[in-house]
Structure 1
Amino acid sequence: MDLYFAAASPFVRKVMVVLHETGQLADVNVIDSVQTPLAPNPANKNPLGKIPSLTRPEGPALYDSRVICRYLADRAGADLIPPARQWEVQTLEATGDGIMDAGVLMVYEHRFRPAELQYGAYVDGQWAKIARALDALEERWISHLSGPLDLGQISVGCALGYLDFRHHDRGWRDGRDALARWFERFGARPSMQETRPV
């Protein structure tokens, strides 16, 4: 299988963590596929021009980290979306993915829009979404986050790692002590250490 990859992408990191946690890293050929919204990589098999995408021998390429992670979990027989908790796990995963989305859009606003066209209120609006999601994690999800490993935890862990990587000056830990403590523990997992962006 070929995984189209960029080390800085939190969505790619999510897939890489699943590969590590399910023991499938050796089954994947990682292809560096740095691209932007303005310059997609033509080799990428995702017609939307986004990463990650995963080619596989038994069918068309898979894309969107949620789809790829489910495929890899199923392939490995890993119970990363336990049926008894599936709606909670998927909601938590959507929360983590939403934080990643907003964080990436903040970066894109500064990186790809000319300075005279950048819209500060848009960036602040994206951070407001992130802040609300972080507050929800602190107030509602710590017990779940502290339970057995699932895709929701992986998504949130990668989202918080991305905030440290790209938005560390925003101080996401302020007033969220329980979430910060959880991330300190979760971030120490070998799968998280091995996939840290540099």
Structure 2
Amino acid sequence: MNLYAFGKALVKTALTPLYRFEVIGAEKFPKEGGILLCSNHIHALDPPVVGMTAPRTVHFMAKEELFKLPVLGGILPKVNAFPVKRGMSDREAMRTALKVLKSGEVVGLFPEGTRSTDGVLKKGLSGAGFFALRGEADVMPCAIIGPYKMFRKVKVVYGDPIQMAPFRERKASADEVTEVIMASIQDILNEYSKNK
């Protein structure tokens, strides 16, 4: 068992007794090819929860500060996370993400850029659209529906993959693609938040 699989099993063992996870739509996740996995962001546990429920290995972009923490900083690179500087154009992170996508793997990111304190989906950053267009990947929208309260249900819902070829063919902008991604996440939230 590699470290990623071990970490995934460890997270599942630690969190499953605390929250009632319901995973919906994981069967829609493409089994191969580059995928940009985009989710809303409501809690610090979102990255491990998405990683735990996604059927494929996910390479997460994580804020640079986390890599400087004593224990976590040593673990993150071993579970395929890579650092990104917030608030500026980070060329190294961009190159890493595009390389992962073009090699047919999955990059996970939270397009809002930071956690939503009220659970309302915020405007997405154009980087999501940039990676989707330039990474030769399709997009997998995901919505996490909380709140994270002990022994309460937390839903992780995967939507229908968004095919990027039509957007590339007509040279759509990164902003437009980001808006499409965020609208897809919002649609999932609208549909599945009704019946918690």
Higher strand share: 2
Higher helix share: 1
Which has the higher relative contact order, 1 or 2, with Cα contacts under 8 A spaced 6 or more apart? 2
Larger Rg: 1
TM-score higher than 0.5 here?
no
